[in-house]
Amino acid sequence: MIVAVMDQGGQVKGHFGTGESVRLYLVEDAQIVMERNYPMRGSGYSAMNELLSLRVSVVICDAITPACRIVLTDNGVRTFTGVKGTTEDAIQAFLQGKLEANEADSGCSGSCSSCASKCH
């Protein structure tokens, strides 16, 4: 599975799709087998499309709008929100089962338009 942690300077970025990059982790059997920094070329809906094209299974961030979360969830991506600290701490907490997938609204309001663009 591919896990994406929204990143800005090694810290989990506060809002989905607004960070300078995303830290991608290829995880097999609860172990990181590869990681890389991936520069984000867009925000909001374009960021979601980028992550979906990379076949990301999990997104870890601090906050995400309800509409953006729904689009990810509808595409089979689990979202973990309310996460703070370093990207390394976030991926380790995920691997240790210490994060809970958030199916509810998570600290943002608005639609994907407030992320950057329209959902549909």
Q: What is the mean pLDDT of residues 35-41?
A: 88
Is residue 7 one of the residues assigned to a domain? yes
Which domain range does residue 36 map to?
2-115
Is residue 120 one of the residues assigned to a domain? no
Is residue 17 one of the residues assigned to a domain? yes
Question: β-pairing, 58-60 with 2-8?
Answer: parallel
Here the CATH number for the domain that contains residue 12 is 3.30.420.130
pLDDT tens-place string over residues 39-93? 887 677 777 888 899 999 999 998 888 888 888 999 999 999 999 999 999 999 9
Domain count, the chain: 1
Q: Among 41, 18, 42, 44, which Cα is nearest to 114's?
A: 44
Q: Among 78, 30, 28, which Cα is nearest to 51's?
A: 78
pLDDT on residue 3: 97
Is residue 104 one of the residues assigned to a domain? yes
Average pLDDT over all residues of the chain: 82
Is residue 81 one of the residues assigned to a domain? yes
